[in-house]
Chain A
Amino acid sequence: MDVVVDGVSQAWGSAQTRVVALDRISHRFRSGTFSCILGPSGCGKSTLVQIVGGIETPTEGAIRVEGGAAASAPGAHSVMVWQSLNLFPWRNVIDNVAFGLEMQGMPKAERYERAVALIASVGLKGFERHLPGQLSGGMRQRVALARALVLERPILLMDEPFGALDAQTKIVMQEELLRIFEATKKTIIFVTHAIEEAILLGDEVVVMTARPGRIKEVVTVDLPRPRSIEMINSPAFGKLFDRAFHLIREEVNTAMAQQAQTLSEHA
């Protein structure tokens, strides 16, 4: 299932205070492709992925899912893994993971069976009855991932999911995600501001400009799969990194100048 972003713009505020977050974005996220959206902070990359997921409605343009079943509501084929995880703190691991199935009205025995299998597959066997508050950051991240995967929707949206993790845990989670992608061949759209992460994970890196967010360039990552963290030291990786870094550097400078201006206006 391809996800087609067609001339999507997003703006907030009234005529005087209008802030354009996204400016006429068009891109085709191909079925079974791991796409990373890379951009400076405040460039609207989170907004874009939320629009793709049907969580936000764009002021202009549309999202289409092509191929597969008949067209349905935006977001029906996708599920989001949030930057802030958004686990339900009153639900234990199994009930968090089974939440989506429970909402569909699936009987308890069946949804628990599927949740238990997924919890085991992300390495949390034995923690089914723990509350999110009793888990470490990396374990919570796994719960959030399992909660999204259990719905078996073909498109997985991830909004800087590993941003809050420490360096070691982040590497483990990146390898976990690579393993899941290579096993399930889902379409993944992954938002990040870390260049190495984008190249390590993605088949393509969609580089965005500072606000108003436009697509600056799409870098194709031709590193072989299965990927592993060791590839970071390869010359091919280094070349891709340099290219992406070159693209993103001036956008980061622009974004910082914008933020400085906003601050001085508010002062």
Chain B
Amino acid sequence: MSSSSSARVSWAELAWPGLSVVLVLAIWEMLVRWRGIQPIFLPAPSSIVYYLWQMLLDGTMEYHLGVTLLRILVGFFVASVCGVALGLLMGMSRVVARIADVWIAAFYPLPKISLIPLLIIWLGTGEAYRIVISAITAFFPVVMSTYAGIRQADRGLIKAAQDLGASIGQVQFKVVMPAAMPSILSGLQLGMGVTIIMIVAAEMIGGSSQSGMGYLLVNSGQVMETEKVFAALVVLAIAGAAIIKLQQWGDRKIAPWISDER
């Protein structure tokens, strides 16, 4: 009884958002056709799909997307390892926390994108520059969430562990770190979001490698191939959503207790 009614609710929940997308696309298509809007300003959805299909067939889309995804992974990996490591060290040592706090306070408010000119001077416009700019940006939310998670670990759990005979080291590794896990994972989600943004932005500025979704967007825009711009945006949106869903799925695998608690 209750299961069938909840199934009906989820059907409606699935159907309405999908229907709204179809409706918007249909209105868009009709508007472009009836008013004769130039494809250079606003191409019809059907022609965007056609261009997208062509780019998938000749492999340009796969190439640019693959390059971008690889850069995102590398930047995110560097930021995660450094951010989690420093956050844990800050949580364990007051001295490290004091020192790092000064530097974080100084650099965190700075828009990281403003470092691009300096990084191009130092590193050129190659892979190093793109990885570094995205890793720096993602590093801050990761390190701050990790440190916050360690500091906010439930005092009650720590006391209980000590009462049950845990040593200081055991409390750190068996209680404080797992207790910080939800905060660390949400920091990594924030980090992934900004990594995607910064990689694409870095590909748009100083794209000497002539590759990646950012380069594809800028290049298609410059030659007024608006259909390709839209096609690239569609692919970026889908890829971004897929990365975030995948990360959420991974988080549930790593820390299944989080959803139970809330």
Residues of A within 8 A of B (CB): 53-55, 75, 79-80, 82, 84, 86, 88-90, 99-100, 102-104, 131-134, 147, 151
Contact = CB atoms under 8 A, between A and B. Distances in A.
Contacts of A103: 161, 164-167, 170, 174
Contact of A151 (B154, B164, B167): B164
Contacts of B165: 100, 103-104, 151
A90 B257 contact: yes
Contacts of A104: 165
Contact of B255 (A82, A90, A99, A100): A90
The residue among B164, B181, B255 with the most chain A CB atoms within 10 A of its own CB is: B164
A88 B261 CA distance: 11
Given A131-B256, A133-B257, A133-B261, A90 B164 contact: no
B58 interface: no
B156 interface: yes
A89 B261 contact: yes
Nearest to A157: B163
Contacts of A75: 163
A100 B164 contact: yes
B261 A86 contact: no
A104 B164 CA distance: 9
B166 A86 contact: no
Contacts of A79: 163-164
B163 A88 contact: no
B8 interface: no
A88 B166 contact: no
Nearest to B254: A90
Report, as a range, how many residues of chain B touch the other chain: 20 to 34
Nearest to B156: A86
Given A88-B157, A103-B170, A53 B163 contact: yes
Nearest to B160: A86
Given A89-B261, A131-B260, A99 B164 contact: yes
A133 B163 contact: no
19 contacts: A54-B163, A55-B162, A75-B163, A80-B163, A82-B160, A86-B154, A86-B156, A88-B161, A90-B179, A99-B161, A99-B164, A99-B166, A99-B174, A102-B174, A103-B164, A103-B170, A131-B256, A131-B257, A147-B164
A84 B156 contact: yes
Contacts of A80: 160, 163
Nearest to B259: A133
Nearest to B163: A80
A216 B170 CA distance: 41
Q: Which of B163, B165, B255 has the most CB of A within 10 A?
A: B163
A88 B178 contact: yes
Given A103-B166, A103-B167, A89 B257 contact: yes
B159 interface: yes
Closest 4 CB pairs of A and B: A133-B260, A86-B160, A100-B164, A89-B257
Interface string B220-262: 0000000000000000000000000000000000011100110
Q: Which of B154, B156, B160 has the most CB of A within 10 A?
A: B160
Interface in B5-33: none
Interface in B178-209: 178-179, 181
Contacts of B131: none
Given A79-B164, A100-B164, A102-B174, 8 more contacts: A82-B156, A86-B154, A103-B170, A103-B174, A132-B260, A133-B257, A133-B261, A134-B260
B175 interface: yes
A133 B255 CA distance: 12
Contacts of B256: 131
A82 B178 CA distance: 20
Nearest to B154: A86
B178 A90 contact: yes
A1 to B, nearest CB: 17
A103 B173 CA distance: 11
Interface string B49-91: 0000000000000000000000000000000000000000000
B251 to A, nearest CB: 13
A89 B260 contact: yes
A103 B154 CA distance: 19
A228 B255 CA distance: 42
**A75, A80, A90 interface centre (most CB from chain B within 10 Å):** A90
A102 B170 CA distance: 10
Nearest to B158: A86
Contacts of B162: 55
Contacts of A89: 257, 260-261
Nearest to B177: A90
A147 B167 CA distance: 17
Residue among A53, A102, A147 with the highest chain B CB neighbour number at 10 A: A102
